[in-house]
Each structure stands twice: as C-alpha cells, then as structure tokens.
Amino acid sequence: MMAACAAHRACRHEACRVGILGALLFIAACASAPVVGPKTVTAWRIPNFESVQECVHLDVGDRLDYDFTSTERVDFSIRYYEGNASIAPIVREKVVTESGRFVPITAQDYCLVWETGLNGALINYRIVPRRGPASTVVPR
C-alpha cells in the first residue's frame, strides 16, 4: 500500500485506480483530467478488494461538496498524504451512500477513496470543489 501512496503523487489531481495490481499499472490507470470544477461519474466499476480515488487540491477557505451511491457496501474516506502517512479526516465504513461538505483546515491534495470488499461495486458520485474568497491585501 505504501507504493500506492507514493504513486498517487505521480498522478496528482487525477482519478487513479489503486490496488495490488493497480499500483504496478499505475501510469496506465491515471486517465482523467485534473478536477477543477464539478465532476460526475456514473457506474464506475471497482473490482473486489480494490480501491479507487479521486483527488483535488483544496486551500483553506475552499469547500468540497460530495455525494455517492454504491451497489455494495464500501469503505469511504477523504484523506491526504504526508510522507508515508495517510491522514483521513473523514472515514465511513460499510456504507452504500454518503454525502456532505468537507472543509479543509490546511491546504492539501485531498483524495476521496472508495474501497470494496468481496463483491466489488459500481459507484456513482458527484464532487463539486467550491473555491473560497480570494485573499485580499488591505493597504496601510
């Protein structure tokens, strides 16, 4: 899994498939353009015992609206990486649906991650990055 964490940086801001074989075939799996606006995905097939992630850069003041449904129970998280560590401010286990608004407390590349079990799953999701107000300099 450490290879997957390091490999995700090579495919920054892109939809990436991560798994045992996915880590080995990572370059071929990075297929999407950077997420800069709303993105909707329908019927993304995740094989059994694998995970997929969608990453986006968020600054302090930004928000990320998200929702998804799945045909099978999945583990869902929003996480970021620091060195070899994976930090997950949001974790939901064995869910078929989830929605919310994530507000970061630090500027990072955040990844929404779905992990399947025995049956695999089809997921539908929508993510909407909302940029915070631009910083303004107040003249003295």
- Sign of the torsion formed by the C-alpha atoms of 77, 20, 94 and 52: positive
56 Cβ contact partners less than 8 Å away, ≥ 6 residues apart? 13, 34, 35, 64, 109, 110, 111, 127, 129
- Fold that domain 2-130 belongs to in CATH: Jelly Rolls (2.60.120)
Confidence of residue 36 (pLDDT cuts 50, 70, 90): confident
Given a cut of 90, is residue 33 above it in pLDDT? no
What pLDDT score does 28 carry? 33
Write out pLDDT tens, residues 88-115. 999 999 999 999 999 999 999 999 999 9
Say how far apart CA 53 and CA 48 lie, in whole Å.
Answer: 15
Do residues 77 and 18 lie in contact, with contact meaning Cβ atoms separated by under 8 Å?
no
Taking the complete model, does pTM exceed 0.75, yes or no?
A: no
DSSP, collapsed to helix, strand or coil, labels residue 30 as coil
Given a cut of 90, is residue 58 above it in pLDDT? yes
Top-confidence range, 8-22, 32-46, 98-112: 98-112
- Least confident piece of the model among 31-40, 60-69, 99-108: 31-40
Do residues 7 and 28 lie in contact, with contact meaning Cβ atoms separated by under 8 Å?
no
- Least confident piece of the model among 16-20, 45-49, 70-74, 101-105: 16-20
What pLDDT score does 134 carry? 61
Say how far apart CA 75 and CA 73 lie, in whole Å.
Answer: 7
